[in-house]
């Protein structure tokens, strides 16, 4: 059985480039982990992203060690562009996933912002170029 991710992002040639795991509540560092099935998929994608209400952590492919993200962003700083009340209300996993999807699609197509949040950071690690013109799929196979 192929592993599933909360979101899978594909480049413009339909290759998987990013898998996203979304958690509706912040977890302690000791329990932050991707499911084993997604860890096994790490060799198939360039990047992985862990999202909780506090942080967005990005890892390179082969990311079995979640103590070494290549980029950490504050979730509120990113997602309040898509829901201005993000910081003032309780957010559940499905809605958090929807907001992350909106951000990733904005990075790919600039539907909401000429320069979406964290564009410079994602460009610096080589992820922005892979997102450009790509697509997202929820609950997708990796």
Q: Give yes or no for a contact between 3 and 32, defined as CB atoms under 8 angstroms apart.
A: no
Q: Residues 6 or more apart from 33 whose CB is under 8 A from it?
A: 39, 66
What does DSSP assign to residue 47?
E
Residues 35-90 have pLDDT tens digits of 665 666 666 788 989 899 999 999 887 655 556 789 999 999 999 999 999 999 99
Residues 81-105 have pLDDT tens digits of 999 999 999 999 999 999 999 999 9
Find the farthest-apart pair of alpha carbons in the chain and give their distance in angstroms, rounded: 40
| Ramachandran region, residue 102 (left: φ > 0; alpha: ψ -120 to 50; beta: rest) | alpha
């Amino acid at each position: 059985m192929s592993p599933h991710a909360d979101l899978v992002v594909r480049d413009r040639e339909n290759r998987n480039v990013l898998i996203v795991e979304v958690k509706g509540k912040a977890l302690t560092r000791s329990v932050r982990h991707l499911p084993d099935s997604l860890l096994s998929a790490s060799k198939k994608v360039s990047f992985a992203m862990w999202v909780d209400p506090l942080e967005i952590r990005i890892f390179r492919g082969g990311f079995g060690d979640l103590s070494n993200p290549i980029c950490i962003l504050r979730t509120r700083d990113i997602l309040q562009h898509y829901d201005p009340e993000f910081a003032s209300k309780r957010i559940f996993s499905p809605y958090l996933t929807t907001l992350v999807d909106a951000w990733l699609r904005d990075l790919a197509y600039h539907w909401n912002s000429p320069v979406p949040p964290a564009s410079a950071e994602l460009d610096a690690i080589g992820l922005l170029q892979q997102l450009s013109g790509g697509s997202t799929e929820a609950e997708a196979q990796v």
